[in-house]
Structure 1
């Protein structure tokens, strides 16, 4: 897939795999929407992405909060008009024995892996709906 001028939302973009993904996409000319909890780190990564040729938008986001993730999708769409790729690289860790971990901690851990906003089966957000219908009819 060519990434030049594609809009790529990346959760967990402040470090690790998310940061590496953001920098790689920016090098290929993507418009990257960076999401993580740390605004300071996101701003640093955004600057690095722009130095590599991409346009960047930093959106502080808590992927365990559905409202925050919906706001992320709205910010991406408001700035770039659409979302082409959504990459979930955010991670939440739980330390301790599984049988002694409170259920709320397990839920938070699994929530981060399915954080794209959704209205049920189908595309992850309203801005993707038209393209999903078009591609499913071919």
Structure 2
């Protein structure tokens, strides 16, 4: 991957990460709003008298509140699932970006080392680095 491709991919990943972060924040705000509304409805329902004692419009109002509370529960479940998916996607995108950056740094070091050092010195350094880390310097390019 050349520098232009690297910068392009890095830019795309950064934009995707930002989009997912914004989506996550919107979901968190929506979830908080739904939770508050659900709590208010739950308190109103609990504060009302039993269904048998309610009459007419008030009873219908309580039934509507209960139905809205059920819908909010379903919405909250769906929003929490979407939040989990987006957090997972964000984690994966960040990992991909870090891998991209790490690989590019390793390749850059290897290219510089190849161009500056005589081959026998490069391989000697590679061997010593491999002994310490367990990874060959030129494995990243294969």
TM-score (norm 2): 0.23
Structure with the larger strand share? 1
Structure with the larger helix share? 2
The structure showing larger relative contact order (alpha-carbon pairs under 8 Å, at least 6 residues apart) is 2
TM-score (norm 1): 0.23
